[in-house]
Amino acid sequence: MEKFLLTLVSPVLENVLKELLSPDNIQAHGDKLFDFIEDAVESSKTTIDDVTVLPIIKAMREGLNIPDND
């Protein structure tokens, strides 16, 4: 029974994941996610996260080709 259900669900799940992980969605939602993280880091009182997290976000933006559309 489980194998039958998996056979039915797999194509649907695959299509949903392809749509969610489309380049357009990654660009649009990736920018929003990175903006949220950057804002949280910049507004915190600590400075260590500015030195560690912000360069990682910058590298991820460059690597994933997600410009900062502020």
Q: What is the pLDDT of residue 1?
A: 66
Q: What is the pLDDT of residue 48?
A: 92
* Closest to 32 (Cα-Cα) out of 1, 61, 53, 55: 61
Q: What is the pLDDT of residue 34?
A: 95
Q: What is the pLDDT of residue 62?
A: 94
Distance CA 68, CA 34 (A): 8
Q: For every one of its 70 residues, what pLDDT tens digit does the chain have, with 9 covering 90 and above? A: 677 777 878 888 888 888 888 888 888 899 999 999 999 999 999 999 899 999 999 999 999 999 998 7
The answer to whether the pTM exceeds 0.95 is: no
